[in-house]
Amino acid sequence: MKKMVYWGLLIVFLPAMVFAQEKVEAPVWNVGDKWVFTGNGNIEVIKADQSGYILKFSEGKCIFESQGCKTILFEKSTLNRMNILDGDKNKKYGEGLSKILDFPLNEGKQWKTGYSSIEPGPLKVPVFYDYSETYRILGWEDITVQAGKFKVLGLEYRRKIIGSPASWSSVGEEIINQYWYSPDVKYFVKCKYDKDWMKGNKEIFDWELTSFQLRK
């Protein structure tokens, strides 16, 4: 009897255990793949070849995610951000979120990156900042957004100011954002920003997927 109970429980929980341990490989993006978010913003794949994928970010939405770049080249195997494209100009990507997607993904995975930037400070005086970025996969869950219900991997993103020569800068200041990635959608379906950080950034707001199209 005990053996029957044991095997019964194993049958119930084994699929969940396997799914939780499963590694999610980088999706294949195709030209025309498009994701539309609240705020009338969208991201679209405009080129796909051996060099990687080129994605175009719309203006006025996903401001933080695009890091001010309209067109970005992503590496195929990891979906790390490789280059920024501006017309005929092509330069190495050196902004934040360079590895917000770092395939393969699995529950418990953690990784780090860092970057430097010059940003306007008080009185519009340019200030130099050094940032550290930490990413952590939290695990699987079911989530419902305007585009539907999906099984997703939750991702925690932490960005901390680790250096600046300006006396008024907030060295040590940290923001914590959350993202949810869906293998079925091949992109994030939702983002929730740090509430304290959003207070001073009115153009930044939480978003979720409203619709998407995936080409074959």
Please give the residue that has the higher pLDDT: either 94 or 62. Answer: 94
For the entire predicted model, the pTM comes to: 0.87
Rounded to whole angstroms, the Cα distance separating 180 from 151 reads 9
Q: By mean pLDDT, which of 40-44, 81-85, 134-138 is the weakest?
A: 40-44
Average pLDDT, the chain: 88
Q: Is the pLDDT of residue 197 over 60?
A: yes
Please give the residue that has the higher pLDDT: either 204 or 23. Answer: 23
Q: By mean pLDDT, which of 19-33, 78-92, 126-140, 183-197 is the weakest?
A: 19-33
Q: How many CA atoms lie within 13 A of 15 on its CB side?
A: 3
What is residue 60's predicted lDDT score, i.e. its pLDDT? 62
Residue 37 pairs with which residues in a beta bridge?
A: 41, 209
Tell me the average pLDDT across 78-105.
95
Task: Check residue 83 and give left, alpha or beta (phi > 0: left; psi -120 to 50: alpha).
Answer: beta
Rounded to whole angstroms, the Cα distance separating 98 from 114 reads 9
What is residue 210's predicted lDDT score, i.e. its pLDDT? 96
Q: How buried is 209 (Cβ within 10 angstroms: 0-12 exposed, 13-18 middle, 19+ buried)?
A: buried
Q: Is the pLDDT of residue 96 over 80?
A: yes
Q: Is the pLDDT of residue 189 over 50?
A: yes
Q: Is the pLDDT of residue 12 over 70?
A: no
> Tokens 């953690």 identify what position?
110
What DSSP character marks residue 93?
A: -
User: Where along the chain do its domains lie?
Assistant: 2-213
Q: Is the pLDDT of residue 16 over 70?
A: no
Rounded to whole angstroms, the Cα distance separating 157 from 65 reads 12
Q: Is the pLDDT of residue 171 over 80?
A: yes
Tell me the average pLDDT across 132-151.
98
Residue 34 pairs with which residues in a beta bridge?
A: 44, 213
At the top level of CATH, the class of 2-213 is mainly beta
